[in-house]
Amino acid sequence: MRRDADGPLGDVEAVIGPTERDVRVETAAGKPGREIVRFADEHDADHIVVGNHGREGVARVLVGSVAEQVVSRASMPVTVVR
């Protein structure tokens, strides 16, 4: 899985182009919501941006929402992009 994670995300800087912001790709093993918040806390992030598939109803209940977990656990502002 770690090998596959380097694929599409490895070229993120090429996709977004030059920026004044610090951009890097990190991978972690564990529960995604917890790992995202842990990483943000450890690196003194001032904001988290997370994607959401927009599942509703039974699919959302069965699969859960990483974005929802991040919003409820984070101590900093979170922007959810659909």
C-alpha 44/C-alpha 37 separation (Å) is: 10
C-alpha 10/C-alpha 52 separation (Å) is: 21
CATH topology of domain 2-81: Rossmann fold (3.40.50)
- DSSP secondary-structure letter at 18? S
Please give the structure tokens belonging to residue 51: 């994607």
pTM reported for the whole predicted model: 0.72
Quick: pLDDT tens for 5-51: 666 655 666 777 777 877 777 888 899 999 999 999 999 999 999 88
What confidence score (pLDDT) does residue 36 get? 95
Asked if residue 66 has pLDDT above 70, the reply is yes
What confidence score (pLDDT) does residue 72 get? 92
Strands 48-51 and 78-81: parallel
